[in-house]
């Protein structure tokens, strides 16, 4: 086994504890009656997918969702609904990631959208420590900026080419089975935690091999 030089983390379900049902309820409360059919823990559908793969921006999403619900929604309404996904952002995980950066290149590869990122994650509101998500990583690779979502191979290809990482020297940590399978096909070493897991010891064990 080649020594690990890079670690790639997913965001939702790995760093952030998620609650899909709460997110569905939040969107239903602002009038998205079919939220149950549109919202997924791993890959969205309809306009929810369009904002995650970059086809539409935050303002276009707000406008389309307003049309969809038949009422004028503000960016704040939409942001608060997206934040329904978030149960907790455990600071201990972020502190651990900072400690990893002393020895490894650490990246984020996430299916996410500009609303969650620019209104929350990449602002001091993200953590109790008052530090934005980008403070914790060497680089963020987000689906809406790259224009494709996991598990599509193209988002992995983009990250590999841009970072210069060698998959065999990279640990990929993601809670999605299909994402892990694609990661393995590239030659990444992988770990698949469950939502809410404290994965520090399992990752330490992999890194110590």
What amino acid positions are annotated as catalytic residues? 10
Distance (Å) of CA 183 to CA 57, 81, 93, 108, 175 = 28, 31, 22, 14, 12
Sheet with 170-173, strands from edge to edge, namely 139-142, 105-110, 6-9, 170-173, 189-191
Three-state helix/strand/coil letters over 128-181:
CCCCCHHHHCCEEEEHHHHCCCCCCHHHHHHHHHHHCCCHHHEEEECCCHHHHH
Cα dihedral sign, 80-81-87-93: negative
């Amino acid at each position: 086994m080649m020594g690990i030089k890079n670690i790639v983390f997913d965001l939702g379900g790995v760093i952030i504890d998620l609650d899909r049902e709460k997110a569905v309820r939040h969107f239903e409360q602002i009038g998205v009656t079919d939220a149950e059919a549109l919202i997924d823990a791993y890959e969205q559908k309809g306009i929810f997918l369009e904002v995650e793969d970059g086809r539409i921006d935050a303002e276009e999403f707000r406008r389309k969702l307003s049309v969809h619900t038949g009422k004028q929604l503000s960016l704040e309404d939409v942001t608060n609904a997206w934040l329904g996904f978030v149960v907790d952002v455990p600071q201990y995980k972020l502190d651990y990631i900072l400690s990893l950066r002393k020895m490894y290149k650490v990246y984020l590869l996430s299916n996410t959208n500009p609303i969650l990122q620019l209104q929350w994650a990449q602002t001091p509101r993200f953590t109790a420590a008052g530090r934005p998500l980008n403070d914790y990583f060497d680089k963020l690779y987000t689906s809406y900026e790259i224009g494709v979502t996991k598990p599509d191979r193209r988002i992995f290809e983009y990250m590999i080419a841009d970072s210069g990482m060698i998959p065999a020297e990279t640990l990929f940590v993601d809670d999605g089975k299909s994402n892990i399978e694609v990661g393995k096909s590239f030659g990444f070493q992988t770990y698949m935690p469950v939502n809410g897991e404290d994965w520090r010891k399992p990752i330490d064990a992999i890194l110590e091999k």
